[in-house]
Amino acid sequence: MAAAAHHPRMDPALTPEALAAQLRRPAGADAEATGARMNEANAAVNRRAIALLGVAAGQAVLEIGPGNGAFVPELLISTGSRYVGLDWSPEMVAAAQRRNAQAVAAGRARFVEGDAAALPFRDAAFDRVLSVNTLYF
């Protein structure tokens, strides 16, 4: 597959334990490749979840564990919708900000570093909440 050549490669020497640790919290030199790998492997389930979420115009969406934020544009299709992504990996927060720079600059998307166990948001701040491939962590 030609596109695969453009993806950063995972370290082939990663043990299953190291790979699991990356998926739980992408970090360091393997973080970028982990993000790319998640986007490929998880696209279908993310798109299905986004369709089920049915974000309407003007709604506020929270995503817990967005990784590098690859699917954020699809959550912002409705007019005036707004998005916040919370992830405890600083590498993923930075990557998501870069990837969604336009939406961030427009004030429609924001990425926050933090732990889902202690949400740094006021009650009832969101109309829709999404989290994919995260609960078991």
Ligand X SMILES: C[S@@+](CC[C@H](N)C(=O)[O-])C[C@H]1O[C@@H](n2cnc3c(N)ncnc32)[C@H](O)[C@@H]1O
Binding site for ligand X (CB under 6 A): 23-26, 38, 42, 46, 64-67, 86-89, 92, 115-117, 132-134, 137
Measured from the CB atom, is 9 or 48 closer to ligand X?
48
Q: How far is the CB of 13 from ligand X (least distance, A)?
A: 20
Can you give the C-alpha Rg of the chain in angstroms?
Answer: 15
Query: What is the sign of the dihedral through the CA atoms of 69, 137, 88 and 90?
Result: negative
- Phi, psi dihedral angles at 49 (to 5 degrees): -65, -40
Closest residue by beta carbon to ligand X: 65
Q: Taking Cα atoms as reference points, which of 66, 72, 11 lies closest to residue 35?
A: 66
Measured from the CB atom, is 23 or 60 closer to ligand X?
23
Measured from the CB atom, is 4 or 118 closer to ligand X?
118
Measured from the CB atom, is 58 or 120 closer to ligand X?
120
Q: How far is the CB of 58 from ligand X (least distance, A)?
A: 24
Q: Rounding to the nearest 10 degrees, give the CA dihedral for residues 49, 45, 130, 74.
A: -70
